[in-house]
Amino acid sequence: MEAEIAEPEFWNQQEHAQKLLKERNRLERVVESWDQAFLNYEDAQVLIELGEEDEDESVGAEAAILLNRAQEQVAKIEFARMLSGAHDENNAIFSINAGAGGTEAQDWAEMLMRMYLRFCEHKGFKTEITDYQSGDDAGVKSVTFTVEGDYAYGWLRSEMGIHRLVRISPFDAASKRHTSFCSVFVFPALDDSIQIEINENDLKIDTYRASGAGGQHVNKTDSAIRITHIPSGIVVSCQNQRSQLNNKAEAMRQLKGRLYEMEEQKKKEKASALSGEKKEIGWGSQIRSYVLHPYRMVKDHRTGYEVGNTDAVLDGEIEGFIEHYLMAD
């Protein structure tokens, strides 16, 4: 790669050059991480040998610190290996849809939106809301946002599925316990190197006036686009751009990502059936429960991983759930 980058004509093909530089930088980070871990291991080994020669036990504590540091670095490298899927390094398109239940479910959808936006903020990811449908009285009916950052899709793909909330409803005068559901869809933002064939005759395209909360959520325009892919029933929409053309381009990008993800899920289901596995795959499975009453607990049903600090989870601290899922995947 370095030899190719050094060639005088390297920048003649801008797109290829950018991809190669991105891949070179990714590989450099892998090598640097391993080199640093190995350096800590070697330094600890030298300390131990010197301590044995001088019969000095005081170096043991310092060597232990270096070994622990090396172990932590190797654990991070091992986890990074889990983000090696075909599109894990891509940006992501994230969509939340409220289930049946009116205001309860719509409020839960807004809580999830906040949780994921906070998580993305913690990770240093850039987010942009592309479609926002306000709830009738509170919350949101549906929201879609893009996530840009290193391995955004790899980090977020494990979140696709049904999320269940159990709590005392703030909208119920009788203070009864309610159960609400929301579905989460996550798919990769594909570049032009992935060809997805879409027949224009299979598309129903509607235009409408952008609505929603406005302000930080959307720009109110007359150029919002909704595209329905008739064979699959997939519906995507975009309303954050002032240009109808740009909204259509973003909606088509979302559609391609969803169609690609749908085909990938079919392949996984077929492979699981052939190998005799019965593994929960896809958006139709309830993946996690968030219980706020009568006790407080968030539990992932796929891995069994659970956390008692529900406030922290709802504030975006969900790395533990993602890491356990990816390590077990």
Which pLDDT value is given to residue 211? 63
Q: What percent of the chain has pLDDT over 90?
A: 52
Question: What is the C-alpha to C-alpha distance for residues 225 and 306, in angstroms, rounded to an integer?
Answer: 40
pLDDT in tens, 6-16: 999 999 988 88
Which pLDDT value is given to residue 282? 41
Question: What is the C-alpha to C-alpha distance for residues 236 and 219, in angstroms, rounded to an integer?
Answer: 18
Mean pLDDT of 259-277: 68
pLDDT in tens, 147-206: 999 889 999 999 999 999 999 989 888 888 999 999 999 988 886 656 788 898 999 999
Q: What confidence tier does 277 reach under pLDDT thresholds 50, 70, 90?
A: very low
pLDDT in tens, 39-95: 999 999 999 999 999 888 888 899 999 999 999 989 888 877 888 787 898 899 999
Which pLDDT value is given to residue 288? 97
Mean pLDDT of 276-287: 54
Which pLDDT value is given to residue 272? 56
Q: What confidence tier does 125 reach under pLDDT thresholds 50, 70, 90?
A: very high
> Quick check: 232 pLDDT over 70?
yes
Question: What is the C-alpha to C-alpha distance for residues 78 and 81, in angstroms, rounded to an integer?
Answer: 5
Which pLDDT value is given to residue 279? 39
pLDDT in tens, 21-31: 988 987 898 89
What are the structural domains, with CATH classification, of the chain?
Answer: 2-82 (1.20.58.410), 92-328 (3.30.70.1660)
Which pLDDT value is given to residue 325? 93
Question: What is the C-alpha to C-alpha distance for residues 69 and 85, in angstroms, rounded to an integer?
Answer: 27
Which pLDDT value is given to residue 280? 41
C-alpha torsion 86→91→92→93, nearest 10: -130
Which pLDDT value is given to residue 313? 98
70: which 2 tokens? 């090396």
Which pLDDT value is given to residue 117? 98
H-type alpha helices, the chain: 2-5, 14-54, 59-82, 103-123, 152-156, 244-275, 310-314, 319-328
> Quick check: 262 pLDDT over 50?
yes
Q: Are 204 and 232 in contact (CB under 8 A)?
A: no
Mean pLDDT of 27-36: 89
> Quick check: 283 pLDDT over 80?
no
**CA-wise closest residue to 96 among 53, 129, 122, 59:** 129
Which pLDDT value is given to residue 57? 84
Which pLDDT value is given to residue 284? 53
Q: What percent of the chain has pLDDT over 70?
A: 90
> Helices 59-82 and 319-328: crossing angle, nearest 10°?
70
